[in-house]
Amino acid sequence: MSRPEKSGVMPPHSKHIVRVALDIPLATLFDYTAADGVAVGQRVLVPFGRKQVVGVVMGCAADSELAAERIKPVTRVLDEILPLSAELLTLLRFCADYYHHPLGMTVLSALPARLRSSQPVTFKEALQYTLSASGRALDLGEFPKRKVVQQRILTALQGSALSAAQLRALSPSAAAALKVLLEAGWVEPVTPITLALSPRERELTFNNAHTLTTEQQQAVDAVAQSNGYGCFLLHGVTGSGKTEVYVHLMNHVLRQGGQVLLLVPEINLTPQLENYFRSRFPDAELVSLHSGLADGERTQNWLRAQSGQARIVLGTRLAVFTPLPQLALIIVDEEHDSSFKQQDGLRYSARDVAIFRASTRKEYAEGCPTATPSPSRSQRGVPIVLGSATPSLESYYNAQSGRYKLLQLTARALAAAKLPAVHCINTSNALLHHGISEPLLAALEQRLQRGEQSLVFINRRGYAPVLMCTACGWLSGCANCAGKLVLHLRDRLLRCHHCGQQQRVPHACPSCGNTDLQPVGIGTQRVESALQEHFPQARILRVDRDSTRNKGAWNAMRRQIHDEAVDILVGTQMLAKGHDFPNLTLVCVLNPDSALYSSDFRASEKLFAQLAQVAGRAGRAGKPGEVLIQTAFPDHPLFRALREHDYAAWAKILLTERQSAGFPPFVYQAMLRAEGKQGTEVFAFLQQARKAATALALPVEVYGVVPAAMPRRANRIRAQLLVQCATRKPLQQFLRAWRPLLDALPAQKLRWSLDIDPLEF
């Protein structure tokens, strides 16, 4: 079953062996016979055990190691859609090889859920909506004022035809309002004529809303003039106009008939970017791909990208595997964000996979020994832009060493918009009211009087991190985890943010019966409550995972903020990046110090990025911004660098520390993780794995077995084993030799995984 497969299409009416990738946790392909012509990359339905499962043909072979009578035939060829391209299959082979994940599971996980089933798939023609003759005759001045969303849709359609996605962005209830307007005959669906034209034949409208600064123009020219692959790190301070650079690069690519892939770290950033790019490129079809979409919509968007109809694909990490036949540019926004790293299943970094995808044919072959490159456009090399105000140390080091090209935007794009002044409030000698100091309250009062908006940032949701008994010291611990149950006062619940366990708040201490139970620490709900008490006239909005759980909630909140119907925002890291609120002039940061003494060597890097990003929300328009950080360590080098907006100085300190300690980016790492009900079994497995690793006698460092940072989670004991090497190639050679030994170890009652280039410890 390990013979090399041949690419191409099999001759019709002949019986050949096809090698099929299945969503099975085995590092092998499966042989089947097919009587009709089947293309490599095509989906097929095949028997596996007693079930019929969907797989993808990875190649064909002249013979098999299995006896002929044991090879079953393909049940059905699922040919409703185009086969996966050779370029995409090469990318998936690389991921399976580099991240040491079964090839079949890698290939199938890259497909939308609908394409992993045998359900028929129909490529639906993209529809747009426009006003009918009767709709154009309507007098909107006399339209019922209570029908706000319908009126909003009718107004939007007076300008041009819009897609369903564009209309849904107007309101969470836009779909229902559109249905009413269609039934009334005021709006009608149309098929865009432009879809019948090739990309080069379309008259693409580009709304050139802004004149580029000198630095922005230099960045655009550097990328646009690159010949083939090049990795560019766009390091721009917050508000420096990185998005405008993206827009001009996209315009350059779209006019040449290319497609653009833009990756963002979180779903919450996609709606505003969708609307923005649609306003700048009204004639170019844009689709989004993220987990917030229904299966059907995600599949249709994926198919539009595969067909070449979608010119711009905007998505979260899984979108890196989208088939794009005319791919000509990849952009990774907020490239430092840890959300680009998948933490289960195929533990890939979307940023790193995107860099590989953009690279040249030569680099494809060198990076993946099993790859069989084809001369597709993206394998000839396309530019990739990594954008961030706070680049990851790995990317910054690569730019400093010349592996990436560094492009810098050192000032905010608007001449009137200056970087905010950053001040630290020493909490060692300050009186705090529910975690909020007097100077911070005074600053909030000042903004309220001016009619400006403020953001209070605390990266902990809930009311308080823990509930404590004042008599015996009992703490609200989670029975399933090594963590605490967080108090959610409004719901009268104690909830674990790790395993989801929840229970009612007890009336008395479970340990001693004392009824005086007090919240310890602060979370977003407690801050919101304290501010409402202190500023009863203020309009306060809390934005965290709890308040945005309902679909459409965040879109409605964002509209409130932009409409200046909010005075004070209280939020977590959801508000820290990518958002542009022109009237927001004050950012207050509560309780950031815990990261300064964390056991995670990346903690201070993450904290600087988080604080720099959230500070960047202040003063993005003409009004001056201010940032107040409450800390017990105001003289720490991290806060000094923040006050001076000097990322380079902080990165230099961290790189020096990392080099002396032997941490990335100066070494490459792999982490073997295991978890199970019994700690003895977990540690025994990892000790055996360590023994097998040292017996290989390869030039890698194998560390001892240690408990995970959270040693118990969801009633499972967790431990880990770290392996590292000064260079990537020997580490990969070691992992290829080690993986079969791990597969052979007894681990029936355990779950284990290999994490290459781990971010979490």
Q: Where residue 52 sits, what CATH number does that domain have?
A: 3.40.1440.60
User: Does residue 496 belong to any structural domain of this protein?
Assistant: no
Q: How many CB atoms lie within 10 A of CB 503?
A: 13
Q: What is the domain-level CATH number for residue 648?
A: 3.40.50.300
Q: Which of 73-82, 178-187, 412-421 has the lowest mean pLDDT?
A: 412-421
- Do both 84 and 38 map to the same domain? yes
- Do both 352 and 451 map to the same domain? no
User: Does residue 504 belong to any structural domain of this protein?
Assistant: no
Mean pLDDT along residues 76-102: 94
- Do both 292 and 313 map to the same domain? yes
- Name the phi and psi angles at 287, rounded to 5: -125, 150
CA neighbours closer than 13 Å in the CB half-sphere of residue 463: 16
pLDDT-derived band at 364 (thresholds 50, 70, 90) equals very low
pLDDT digit string (tens) for 537-591? 999 999 988 888 877 788 788 888 888 999 999 988 888 776 778 899 999 999 8
Domain enclosing residue 83, as ranges: 16-110
- Do both 452 and 368 map to the same domain? no
User: Does residue 373 belong to any structural domain of this protein?
Assistant: yes
User: Does residue 161 belong to any structural domain of this protein?
Assistant: yes
Residue after which a domain boundary falls, among 149, 167, 190: 190
User: Does residue 1 belong to any structural domain of this protein?
Assistant: no
- Do both 104 and 155 map to the same domain? no
Q: What is the DSSP letter of 63?
A: -
- Do both 397 and 313 map to the same domain? yes
- Do both 221 and 362 map to the same domain? yes
Model pLDDT, residue 360: 59
Q: What is the domain-level CATH number for residue 680?
A: 3.30.70.600
- Do both 267 and 293 map to the same domain? yes
- Domains contained in the chain, number: 5
Model pLDDT, residue 379: 44
Measuring CA to CA, which residue among 572, 576, 548 is closest to residue 560? Answer: 548
Model pLDDT, residue 278: 85
User: Distance of CA 602 to CAs 395, 599, 700, Å?
Assistant: 14, 9, 22
- Do both 425 and 398 map to the same domain? no
687 vs 171, residue with greater confidence: 687
Mean pLDDT along residues 386-411: 95
Model confidence at 8: pLDDT above 50: no
- Do both 573 and 430 map to the same domain? yes
pLDDT-derived band at 191 (thresholds 50, 70, 90) equals low
Model pLDDT, residue 267: 82
Measuring CA to CA, which residue among 174, 151, 251, 160 is closest to residue 205? Answer: 251
Distance CA 385, CA 229 (A): 11
CB 398 within 8 A of CB 237: no
Model confidence at 380: pLDDT above 60: no
User: Does residue 120 belong to any structural domain of this protein?
Assistant: no
Return mean pLDDT, the chain: 87
3-state secondary structure of 645: coil
**Going by DSSP bridges, is the β-strand pair 540-543/432-433 parallel, antiparallel, or unpaired?**
unpaired
Mean pLDDT along residues 119-129: 79
- Do both 673 and 650 map to the same domain? no
Model confidence at 7: pLDDT above 70: no
Distance CA 395, CA 391 (A): 6
User: Does residue 621 belong to any structural domain of this protein?
Assistant: yes
Model pLDDT, residue 376: 39
- Do both 528 and 601 map to the same domain? yes
User: Does residue 639 belong to any structural domain of this protein?
Assistant: yes
Model confidence at 125: pLDDT above 80: no
Residue after which a domain boundary falls, among 138, 158, 190: 190
Residue after which a domain boundary falls, among 628, 657, 686: 657
